[in-house]
């Protein structure tokens, strides 16, 4: 999660030959935007991985915790909550894969990468918190080692 380092680079009075230049003169801003489009896909994929980990932890917890002599995963209310989480993850996955597929095809991905990042980079445990506090607490504890990075929070803005 800490592999997405951002830094400022300044080039003053820097001259390069035409053979070393990337793109046309004056197209630097456009090139930067294209790089950001690809970065959005990476952040969506990163967030998707965290969400999958949170879901797996919540599902395992729901299967192991018993109430009234049976796993809480057997209760309809818990099953609905787990289904909502899985649906959010699948939607984020499809958006991310679509953006990546378009990028691989060399097409513009500005809209698609922004949509994938927006949907997938909501805090991955957010649906857990909305749906069920006891599942969320357990899942967050299990993925807390992954969560000490601020990448998802910073890119979710």
pLDDT tens digits, residue range 45-54? 988 888 888 8
pLDDT, tens digit (0-9, with 9 covering 90-100), for 105-125: 999 999 999 999 999 887 655
**9-23, 87-101, 105-119, 137-151: least confident range:** 137-151
**Tokens (6 digits) for 143:** 């993925």
Work out the pLDDT band at 144, boundaries 50, 70, 90. Answer: low
CB–CB of 50/92 below 8 Å?
no
Crossing angle of helices 76-104 and 110-120, in 10° steps, is 150
- Residue 12 main-chain phi, psi, to 5 deg: -110, 135
Q: How far apart are CA 114 and CA 48, in angstroms?
A: 14
Q: Is 113 exposed, middle or buried (0-12, 13-18, 19+ CB in 10 A)?
A: buried
Among the four given CATH numbers 3.30.2020.30, 2.60.40.680, 1.20.140.10, 1.20.1250.20, the one describing domain 32-155: 1.20.140.10
pLDDT for 156 equals: 44
Does this model's pTM top 0.85? My answer is: no
């Amino acid at each position: 999660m800490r592999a997405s380092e951002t830094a400022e680079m300044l080039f003053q009075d820097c001259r390069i030959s035409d053979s070393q230049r990337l793109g046309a003169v004056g197209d630097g801003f456009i090139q930067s935007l294209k790089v950001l489009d690809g970065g959005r896909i990476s952040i969506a994929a990163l967030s998707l991985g965290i969400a999958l980990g949170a879901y797996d932890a919540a599902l395992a917890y729901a299967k192991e915790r018993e109430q009234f002599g049976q796993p809480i995963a057997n209760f309809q209310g818990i099953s609905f909550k787990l289904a909502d989480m899985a649906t959010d993850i699948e939607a984020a996955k499809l958006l991310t894969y679509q953006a990546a597929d378009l990028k691989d095809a060399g097409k513009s991905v500005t809209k698609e990468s922004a949509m994938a990042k927006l949907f997938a980079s909501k805090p991955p445990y957010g649906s857990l918190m909305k749906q069920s506090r006891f599942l969320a607490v357990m899942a967050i504890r299990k993925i807390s080692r992954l969560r000490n990075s601020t990448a998802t929070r910073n890119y979710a803005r």
